[in-house]
Amino acid sequence: MPELPEVETIARGVDTRIRGDRIVEAWFSNHPQPFKTAPERQVEGLEGRMILGVHRTGKHIVCELGDLSGAKTGQSSAQWIVHLGMTGRLLVTTPAGPVANHTHARLTLASGREIRFVDPRRFGRLELRDLEQGAVFRGAGKEPLNIAADDFAALFRGRKLAIKAALLNQTLLTGVGNIYADESLFRAGIRPRRRAGRLTRAELECLRVALKTVLEHAIRLGGSSVSDYVDADGVRGFFQLEHCVYLRTGQPCRTCNTPIRRILIAGRGTHYCPQCQH
């Protein structure tokens, strides 16, 4: 489901609701796919721990966990890392609420609330990282919201793949997915099939600013709800109403009325305006 703006919205919502709470009990489903760390080890590492805070890194939601001994050091000693895949949801509810189909994790908290991870397609992943060795989780790629112009341009130098495919590569930039790749390329006036290494410095700078602008705007609107995306409270976002090209195949461009085209790049549906983008 979610890209940077949706993950940011969810992480913020979860953080305000469960920061300072304590995990009393952890339950996991029997499907093996969602677990990057074995469920038994996650139960062991989660139960009894304090949640110090929740934040986003790339498309990952990171829950910082306190010491197992319960000592109030404020120092994170472990991380519970949630990747939502295509259809994952992370919800804060009460234990009494009806349990949705495809619920793969339930963490009951000391306050009486409950965190649930629901994921029909099971492309999402849950991981527990012990930080005793000091290995803080960080995605491989750069964050598009604060990358410098020089660093952004350097990412694409000499690359022969389509700029759209490069934007989706999480080892270059982290957090950009199919919606915001298409929307930022439209805003920058760049065709998605252009080879990344052939873009001029001016075009790349235009793209960096467009990407940042689009992502920040989407965060303000609570993300895009294309089918079933909801935030930590089950509320939909509103950025889908502002999409210029994504899933608008055949509809008139908002700028020039030319029908939006859909092509395949890197196996992903790609939407652009043949008039506005060069």
State the CB neighbour count (10 A cutoff) for residue 24: 16
Nearest of 20, 178, 146, 18 to residue 10 by alpha carbon: 18
Least Å distance, CB 133 to DNA, is: 21
Q: Which of 2, 5, 34, 192 is catalytic?
A: 2
Nearer CB in complex with DNA: 109/214? 214
Catalytic: 144?
no
Nearest of 126, 213, 175 to residue 7 by alpha carbon: 175
Least Å distance, CB 170 to DNA, is: 5
Nearer CB in complex with DNA: 66/177? 177
Nearest of 269, 217, 205 to residue 243 by alpha carbon: 217
Least Å distance, CB 15 to DNA, is: 19
**Residues at the interface with DNA (CB under 7 A):** 1-3, 6, 33, 58-59, 83, 85-87, 101-102, 120-123, 125, 159-162, 165, 168, 170, 177-179, 197, 223-229, 237, 246-247, 262, 266-269
Least Å distance, CB 67 to DNA, is: 28
Least Å distance, CB 254 to DNA, is: 19
CB 115 within 8 A of CB 15: no
Which residue type does 24 have? V
Catalytic: 142?
no
Catalytic: 2?
yes
Q: Which of 49, 56, 59, 142 is catalytic?
A: 59
CB 198 within 8 A of CB 230: no
Catalytic: 127?
no
User: Which residues are marked as active site?
Assistant: 2-3, 59, 268
